[in-house]
Amino acid sequence: MTTPSAGWTTDRTAGSAPDPGPGAGSPALLTDRYELTMLQAALRDGTAHRRCVFEVFTRRLPPGRRYGVVAGTGRVLEEIERFRFGTPELDWLSDERVVDDATLEYLAGYRFTGSVVGYAEGETFFPSSPVLVVSGTFAEAVLLETLTLSVLNYDSAVASAASRMTSAAVDRPCLEMGSRRAHEHAGVAAARAAVVAGFAGTSNLEAGRRYGLTTIGTAAHAFTLLHDDEEAAFAAQVAALGTGTTLLVDTYDVHRGVERALAVAGTGLGAVRLDSGDLGVLAHEVRAQLDAAGATGTRITVTSDLDEHAIAALAVAPVDSYGVGTSVVTGSGAPTCGMVYKLVAREGADGRLAPVAKASAAKTSVGGRKGAARRVVDGRAVEEVLVGGADERVAAWVADPDPGALGPDRGAGELRPLHVPLVTDGVVDARWTGAGGVVAAAERHHASRAELPRGARRLSADEACVPTTALTLPA
């Protein structure tokens, strides 16, 4: 390992972000090499310190989706606070000759001192919605690209799928239990994102510890198979966890399992779980069996590779809660949101911000910073409004959206601003991080989804349920 050369020293003072978990280091190398090689070239030619604006957005929703859900914002903010190049990171970059010494010296003192605004976590979004706007020097902002997209693309995909599931479940709780179907760290992120979109709890203990989430779980089939018979397994579980526990009754014969569960726990048994077979038919039969035995308060939980379509199909079954695993942690067929992080404005020779945009076929972008608001009529969203123009005009419009700017034929209703401050001059707004950030995000999602047009929750394939209008404000 090399010794840092004179001139690049590190400040390894702990940041104020929530505890990221055991063994976690700096996220600074969770990035693509070209972010650092661009930085080196920009430092060399003097453009690294130009003021810039980057936007995160998606060009389209996954096929069949009518809206997306922003999730992971709180995690991005926590990572920004921890984004430091310490001695181990700098030594490795030096050993591998990724960048030169001048760049290493810059990285040693790296701190994000810019500002970030964006959609509040939990908000619904549509194609072109600027869900995150990062302002700072090119050097500061470009280094955040890969990590920001990694978090937002995955978490938003999970939350978008989870929202469809909680919508299909109506007022029945959905429980996340997909950690074993994901990378061990992705399992924590997925649990958090699912709760943002309305899930009531998770089986993942680290997610519970880190974000204050409710954790759930009792026993698997292995526990039943461990014992000489099913009744002995149930007796051991009730003795340890009380009659309010949930007994898994489908290891052998479901109806015999229910009989044995009641024989052990009595009619005060908390719940039974069904994990195989025709869940709709079995739920009706088990409900009748429980009621006939006087266990009218015993709930029925169903699991077994559920997704939003299976949940919707069980709407008429006497089910009390749904346990969802693989489908939610993989985005239910849409494992990414396709979000991109694009430079939309940069400082020109005259010191003013000038819009920039790609013209690549099928990958165009719209230059200039954009504000965002949602037009609401009679409590329902009817239009996503994006406004561009001079920086100061956009800032003024975002602070006080003017319905008249839409024109006389679209001026009805009110405009609800969508951008909220997340980081100001390098200081993260703690309201959006930690356990409190998850609570705020879940509340925002509940309100935002309720505001969507009727029919937005249909699972049938369709276009985005809210159209997007782009306007340019006069100078």
Neighbours of 33 (CB within 10 A): 13
Q: What is the percent of the chain with per-residue pLDDT over 70, rounded to a whole number? A: 92
Taken in order of first residue, the domains within the chain and their CATH numbers are 218-313 (3.20.20.70)
Helix (H) or strand (E) holding 228: none
Residue 408, pLDDT > 90, answer no
253-268: pLDDT as tens digits: 999 999 999 999 999 9
135-166: pLDDT as tens digits: 999 999 999 999 999 999 999 999 999 999 99
Q: Is 52 left (phi over 0), alpha (psi -120 to 50) or beta?
A: beta
**Residue 416 · residue 384 · CB < 8 Å:** no
Residue 167, pLDDT > 70, answer yes
Residue 7, pLDDT > 90, answer no
User: Between 344 and 349, where is the model more confident?
Assistant: 344
What is d(CA 242, CA 330) in angstroms, rounded to the nearest whole number? 34
Place of tokens 């937005």: 456
What the block records as the tokens of 442 is 């879940």
Confidence band of 64 (pLDDT split at 50, 70, 90): confident
What is d(CA 412, CA 404) in angstroms, rounded to the nearest whole number? 9
Buried b (16+ CB within 10 A) or exposed e, 200-210: bbbbbebbbeb
Q: Which amino acid is at 191?
A: A
pLDDT, residue 294, reads 98
What is d(CA 234, CA 236) in angstroms, rounded to the nearest whole number? 5
Beta sheet of 201-202, edge-to-edge order: 201-202, 174-176, 321-324, 299-302, 271-274, 246-248
What number is the average pLDDT over the span 321-341?
Answer: 97
What is d(CA 317, CA 165) in angstroms, rounded to the nearest whole number? 16
SS (H, E, C) 141-187: HHCCHHHHHHHHHHHHHHHHHHHHHHHHHCCCCEEECCHHHCCHHHH
What number is the average pLDDT over the span 447-469?
Answer: 93
Residue 397, pLDDT > 90, answer no
276-299: pLDDT as tens digits: 999 999 999 999 999 999 999 999
pLDDT, residue 365, reads 76
CA atoms within 13 A on the CB side of 396: 9
Residue 20, pLDDT > 60, answer no
The gap from C-alpha 335 to its chain's centroid, in whole angstroms, comes to: 12
Lowest mean pLDDT among 127-136, 296-305, 386-395, 426-435: 386-395
Q: C-alpha dihedral over 426, 431, 436, 440, to 10 degrees?
A: -120
